[in-house]
Amino acid sequence: MMMKFTIKALLAQLVLLSSLGLLWAQQDSQDQPADNTKVNQRDRNKAEPTADQQKDNSNDRQLAQQIRKALVKDKSLSTYAHNVKVIAQNGMVTLKGPVKSEEEKQAIEAKAAQIAGSDKVTSEIQVASK
């Protein structure tokens, strides 16, 4: 009987400690802003193109899709580069997001220009600081 009580007490203490650890972790993460908070605020500006503003026309959808496929197909690019936002509006393309290096930025811009045309691409890609 004594053994059951000890195991139950031990389990109760473990649950309590786990709960305290979760609360502490949540508090710690709330104190620090997301690393792209300033960028997100910029994107709230109605004049800035965002993915949700992309029209549902087949030409823009296909253009964005072709560029996205070219980026994902290039395995030399980082996950950051694979996740760059590609926004097509009326044949014009805007690229946004962080990448690991200047070389990745140039590679993405070149792929988009090859598909859309160099005069139809606006790059707002930033090289992430290390």
CB 67 within 8 A of CB 51: no
Q: Which domain holds residue 117?
A: 53-127
* Nearest-10 crossing angle of helices 58-73, 102-116: 140
How many domains, in total, are found in the chain? 1
How would you list the strands of the sheet with 85-89, edge to edge?
85-89, 92-99, 121-127
**Residue 54 token pair:** 């992309």
Model confidence, pTM: 0.63
- 119 assigned to some structural domain: yes
Give a yes or no: residue 76 inside a domain.
yes
- CATH for 85: 3.30.1340.30
50-75 per-position pLDDT tens digit: 665 566 788 989 999 999 999 999 99
Per-residue pLDDT tens, the chain, 130 aa: give them: 445 557 777 777 777 667 666 666 555 444 444 455 555 555 555 556 566 556 678 898 999 999 999 999 999 999 999 999 999 988 999 999 999 999 999 999 999 999 999 999 999 999 987 6
96 within domain boundaries: yes
Q: Is 107 inside any structural domain? A: yes
Q: Which residue has the tokens 């090289």?
A: 127
